[in-house]
Amino acid sequence: MATLTSLVNPATGTDQGKAGDTVTLSGSGLADTTRVNFGAEPVVPSTVTAGAVTATVPALCADQYRVTVTARTSTTSNFLPFFVIPAPVCHGLSSNAGPAGPTAVTLLGTGFLTATGVTFGSVGAATGTFPPATDGELTVTTPAHTTPIAGCTDTVDVTVTSLGGTSVPMGSGCAYTFYDAPSAVSVTPAAQLSGQNVTISGTCLLDATAVALSDGLTQTPATFVNLSPTQILAVVPVVLPGTYSVLVTTPGGTDTTAPPTLLVL
């Protein structure tokens, strides 16, 4: 009678894995094996020798299964446990947009406990601690978007890879948009009264989240509306007369390198 002494999935180095993995069953008296049983699901072995049998894990729900082998004589061996790991599922992100440079993002979902990596589309792999401490949350640092971003934004799917497989993109909830840094280049008119409108022109001003006047020490927020990716209409806030830097903030960051100035009359 066949006797099993060990079950190892080379993909994980353990008795755990997912559908499609090939496991190795070791023992004695295995030469007459005709099928390998994962619970009630039989499969034809891939290779058979007296001391080892290999088989591909069938499509099974995440659970623990008793694995046995059956010989031509219909005798069945003792069982060894095998754990089918659930595939990761990403339900959402703590933030779906951010700058081209690295930033922290938390993924929310299930099946993260054996995660080995997170990928932001073609931009690349995130960095973080794998596996995470919990099954439902995973915090990573986005990869840097080092290639030029055409149109100022690049939206990619975020996927999680674990011992249970790779998550399937679920739409906008687990998509992330990289924003190029904004660049404001001019303010028209260059001099204006508080409470009056000015037009800020530049590049990558899409989805601005803040506009402020800065005297170098204090930033005073202004109300505004986005007119286009290259223009913002803002109302000059109530400040003392003087020259101020005009700072525009988008998910790509704040333009502080060489912002335009406005003379408040």
Q: Give me the residue spans of the domains in the chain.
A: 3-84, 89-179, 183-264
pLDDT number for residue 171: 84
Share of the chain above pLDDT 90, in %: 95
- Enter the DSSP assignment of 14: B
Say if domain 89-179 classifies as CATH 1.10.10.1200. no
Peptide bond into 229 cis (omega under 30): no
For 129-166, write each residue's pLDDT tens digit: 999 999 999 999 999 999 889 999 999 999 999 999 99
pLDDT number for residue 263: 98
Asked whether 155 and 177 are in contact (CB, 8 A), the reply is: yes
For 43-101, write each residue's pLDDT tens digit: 999 999 999 999 999 999 999 999 999 998 889 999 999 999 999 999 999 999 999 99
Q: Residue 243: pLDDT above 90? A: yes
Q: How many C-alpha atoms does 82 have within 13 Å on its Cβ side?
A: 35
Please say whether the dihedral angle defined by the alpha carbons of residues 7, 13, 16 and 18, taken in this order, is positive or negative: negative
Full-model pTM: 0.85
Asked whether 1 and 27 are in contact (CB, 8 A), the reply is: no
Asked whether 85 and 136 are in contact (CB, 8 A), the reply is: no
Asked whether 108 and 115 are in contact (CB, 8 A), the reply is: no
pLDDT number for residue 199: 98
Six token digits for residue 134: 């919990």
Six token digits for residue 23: 């496991």
Binning pLDDT at 50, 70 and 90, where does residue 194 land?
A: very high
* Exposed/middle/buried for residue 121 (C-beta within 10 Å: 0-12, 13-18, 19+): middle
- The CATH number fitting domain 183-264, selected from 3.90.1150.10, 3.30.565.10, 2.60.40.10, 3.30.1180.20: 2.60.40.10
For 162-180, write each residue's pLDDT tens digit: 999 999 998 889 999 999 9
Q: How far is CA 23 from CA 10, 12, 20, 190, in A?
A: 7, 10, 9, 72
Chain-centroid distance of CA 37 in Å reads 36
Binning pLDDT at 50, 70 and 90, where does residue 181 land?
A: very high
* Three-state SS at 196: coil
Q: Do strands 253-254 and 261-264 pair parallel, antiparallel, or not at all (unpaired)? A: unpaired
Place of tokens 């190892």: 8
Q: State how far the Cα of 233 lies from the Cα of 201, in Å rounded to an integer.
A: 9
* Three-state SS at 4: strand
Q: State how far the Cα of 245 lies from the Cα of 151, in Å rounded to an integer.
A: 26
* Three-state SS at 185: strand
Decide whether 89-179 matches 183-264 in CATH topology: yes
Q: State how far the Cα of 264 lies from the Cα of 191, in Å rounded to an integer.
A: 6
One-letter amino acid identity for 55?
A: A
Q: State how far the Cα of 170 lies from the Cα of 168, in Å rounded to an integer.
A: 6
* Three-state SS at 172: helix
CATH code reported for the domain at 3-84 = 2.60.40.10
Asked whether 95 and 140 are in contact (CB, 8 A), the reply is: no
